[in-house]
Amino acid sequence: MTLQRIVSGSRSERGDVPGWVLITLMTAALVVGLWAIAGERLQTMFEEALSGVTGPDDPR
């Protein structure tokens, strides 16, 4: 195998960043952005939702 084939073979196997990596990074960026903008409101909504849930009635 010649040096040219080795070099060109390794280049053909390398490519751009896979799509799933870009999707993962963009999703993480969206979550961080949403959290930064609406974090307090989301926390308030979550706490209100939990306080509105009642457990089973105590038979005593």
Q: Looking at residue 18, what is its pLDDT?
A: 87
Residue 58 belongs to some domain of the structure: no
Show the domain range for 26: 20-51
Residue 2 belongs to some domain of the structure: no
First-to-last alpha carbon distance for the chain, in angstroms, is: 84
Residue 36 belongs to some domain of the structure: yes
Residue 6 belongs to some domain of the structure: no
Residue 56 belongs to some domain of the structure: no
Q: Looking at residue 37, what is its pLDDT?
A: 94
How many structural domains are present in the chain?
Answer: 1
Residue 33 belongs to some domain of the structure: yes
Residue 44 belongs to some domain of the structure: yes
d(CA 45, CA 34): 14
Contact 16, 9 (CB under 8 A): no
Q: Looking at residue 30, what is its pLDDT?
A: 96
Q: Looking at residue 52, what is its pLDDT?
A: 86
Average pLDDT per 10 consecutive residues for the chain, totaling 60 residues: 59 70 94 93 92 72
Q: Looking at residue 36, what is its pLDDT?
A: 94
